[in-house]
Amino acid sequence: MNRHAAFDSRRRGFLRSLVGGSVLFPGIVGDLLAGDSAFPGAGADPLLPRAPHFTPKAKRVIFLYMSGGVSHVDSWDPKPRLFASAGKTVTVDEFQGRKGDFTMYAKRPQWEFSRHGRCGTQVSGLFPHMAGCVDEMCVIRSMTSDHTNHYEATLGIHTGSFTFARPSIGSWVSYGLGTENSNLPSFVVIAPKSPYAGGQVWASDFLPGAHQGTWVVPGQEPVANLRRRSPSEELQALEMAAMDRLNLRHRSARSADPLLAARMKSFETAFGMQMELPELFDLSRESDATHALYGLERGSTRGFAWQCLVARRLAERGVRFIELIDSGSSDNWDAHGDMTLHGPLAANVDRPIAGLLKDLRQRGMLEDTLVVWTTEFGRTPFNATADHRGREHHHWVFSSWLAGAGVRAGTVHGASDDLGIRVATDRVHVHDFHATILHLLGFDHERLTHHHNGRDYRLTDVAGEVVRGVLA
């Protein structure tokens, strides 16, 4: 990419300036300048780019995660019978994790459905803008998870494990692919608040720490310690030059050691990040049309629109896995008391996500970017009382969608039963979902493993089938 190259030359310029006018260490600096991968020693850089198992459709993923459980029957999964049966009783053998016979009352969806796009996929009025993009999507209406509680289900959709902490999907992708841009982390999470299960959602667990997600919090200092604390760039450059000099002197008395070299290089990269990241977060050079496309008010860092536009910029700069979480462990889609609370949450994400899809499409990036939209579970189509205004947790079936690289666009995969209670056809378990995402990235999910404590671990545990029906 052009701007990448531009940055590279700026970095080299910086390095040269360190030795400008000096006769010290020309050979060694020359060595550094000769190439970034001058130290191919084992473990020197866990983020070196790597090839997947086979030619991938997707080079990167943008993972849109709606926290709290989005009601499938109010959004992506039209259930005419649920509209017709509102108030009638339904018997289920389990409710909120308890077994037994429960008589429940079907609850009418709050939003009406209509057909959209050339493909005619039905979407409710909850997501009017995303509805306009159905021709890009494969909507999966037969998702299923293992747990009815937020914490476990959130951990599950991120790590494939519903109990013990394991590496997150983004960490696995980073582990498998490395990064294209050494000035940026390979796995970035943009979330305004901490999600259920906290940092475990993006942790690398037993994978090397370099693969953990970097948490970007919208606001003044989106990444910890990114803001230069030295009073000026020149002063910091002086400090770095001095440190380089010390480190070169230290290194010159020793054999070439990847440990020492990698640390020297990390300062250089950090300096690069310091320049590149604020620029990345600075959306002022984006056009008015782009702002309008995402529904972003100029200068604002609030809301999902900022997150989506930053995601596109990260994708452009070679970040492998970009996760956006719309809310946190409270004030989210968890509408137990009142379904109308879905309204403002949808308004926060709807136009920005539609804008992101259109933007990626018009820039030609949707060809090799996989966009994933999901939540941890759906919400009950029924309630314990007839007049209850909210919906409870429902992991038996819910909806997600995929768009972009390698996805059979303009289709619907799987179905729930007449009332949206259970999977009717083509069940897609969380493990299957993960296997499919890895497949699109060129991985055999059974071969992307890491040996740890006597076992070869993988994202999909011992399950997971690639969902062929969603592939183009």
26-85 positions binding another protein, by CB under 8 A: 27-28, 31, 41-42, 45-46
Stretch that binds another protein, among 358-366, 369-377, 416-424, 457-465 (CB under 8 A): 457-465
Q: How far is the CB of 388 from another protein (least distance, A)?
A: 15
Q: Which of these ranges, 111-119, 251-259, 299-307, 318-326, lies near another protein under the rule CB under 8 A?
A: 251-259
CB 133 → another protein: shortest distance, Å? 31
Element (H, E) at 105: strand 98-106
Looking at the Cβ atoms of 112 and 239, the one nearer to another protein is: 239
DSSP per-residue letters across 64-112:
EEETT---GGGTT---HHHHHTTT-EEEEEEETTEEEEEEEEE---SS-
The DSSP code for 297 is: P
Alpha helical stretches, state H, 323-421: 342-362
Stretch of 51-59, 259-267, 382-390, 432-440 contacting another protein, by CB under 8 A: 259-267
Which H or E run contains 400? Answer: strand 398-404
* Residue from 4, 53, 251, 358 in contact with another protein (CB under 8 A): 251
Q: Which residues contact 442 (CB under 8 A, 6 or more apart)?
A: 51, 52, 53, 54, 55, 56, 57, 58
d(CA 272, CA 280): 12
Rounded least distance, CB 329 to another protein, Å: 5
CA separation, residue 162 to residues 156, 199, 430 (Å): 4, 15, 10
**Residue 190 or 370: which CB sits closer to another protein?**
190
Q: Which is nearer to another protein, 84 or 463 (CB)?
A: 463
Q: Segment near another protein (CB under 8 A), from 131-139, 158-166, 317-325, 382-390? A: 158-166
Annotate each residue in 91-110 with x if it binds another protein (CB under 8 A) or - if it does not, as one string: -----xxx------------
Question: Is residue 21 involved in binding another protein (CB under 8 A)?
Answer: no
Residue from 48, 51, 243, 472 in contact with another protein (CB under 8 A): 243
CA Rg, the chain, in Å? 24
The residues with which 457 forms a beta bridge, in sequence order, are 450
Residue of 368, 311, 365 lying closest to 187 (CA atoms): 311
Interface residue with another protein among 121, 122, 174, 274 (CB under 8 A) is: 274
Rounded distance between C-alpha atoms, residue 421 and residue 423, angstroms? 7
Residue 262 or residue 415: which is nearer to another protein going by CB?
262
- Residue count of the chain: 472
Answer whether 394's CB lies under 8 Å from 69's CB: yes
| Identified binder of another protein from the candidate list 2, 5, 254, 287, rule CB under 8 A | 254
Give yes or no for a contact between 170 and 321, defined as CB atoms under 8 angstroms apart: yes
Q: How far is the CB of 29 from another protein (least distance, A)?
A: 12
Query: Which residues make Cβ contacts (< 8 Å) with residue 461, sequence separation at least 6?
Result: 160, 161, 431
CB 334 → another protein: shortest distance, Å? Answer: 8
Q: In the window 180-199, what residues touch another protein (CB under 8 A)?
A: 183, 185, 194, 196-199
Is residue 252 close enough to count as binding another protein by CB under 8 A?
A: yes
Question: Does 245 participate in binding another protein (rule CB under 8 A)?
Answer: yes
Which position among 37, 163, 300, 340 is part of the footprint of another protein (CB under 8 A)? 163
Cα distances (angstroms) measured from residue 172 to each of 176, 247, 404, 449: 6, 33, 20, 9
Interface segment toward another protein; rule CB under 8 A; list 51-59, 126-134, 250-258, 372-380:
250-258
Q: Which helix (H) or strand (E) holds 113?
A: strand 113-116
Contact 216, 185 (CB under 8 A): no
Chain residues 202-241 in contact with another protein, contact rule CB under 8 A? 203, 205-206, 208-210, 212, 214, 223-232, 234-236, 238-240
Nearer to another protein, 252 or 300 (CB): 252
Rounded-to-integer distance, Cα 301 and Cα 33, Å: 37
Nearer to another protein, 232 or 287 (CB): 232
> Which residue number, 256 or 292, has a Cβ lying nearer to another protein?
256
Q: How far is the CB of 221 from another protein (least distance, A)?
A: 9
How far is 410 from 403, CA to CA, in rounded Å? 9
Q: Which residues from 354-413 bind another protein, rule CB under 8 A?
A: none
Residues 278-337 touching another protein, rule: CB under 8 A, are 329-330, 334
User: Per CB under 8 A, does 427 bind another protein?
Assistant: no
Is 24 one of the binding residues for another protein (CB under 8 A)? yes
What tokens appear for 126 in the block?
């909850």
User: Measuring CA to CA, which residue among 135, 136, 154 is closest to residue 70?
Assistant: 154
Answer yes or no: are the C-beta atoms of 179 and 60 closer than 8 Å.
no
In this structure, are residues 428 and 141 in contact, taking their beta carbons and an 8 Å threshold? no
Where is 188: in which H helix or E strand? strand 187-190
> Interface residues for another protein in 119-148 (CB under 8 A)?
146-148
- 242 contacts another protein (rule: CB under 8 A): yes
Cβ distance to another protein smaller for residue 152 or 359: 152
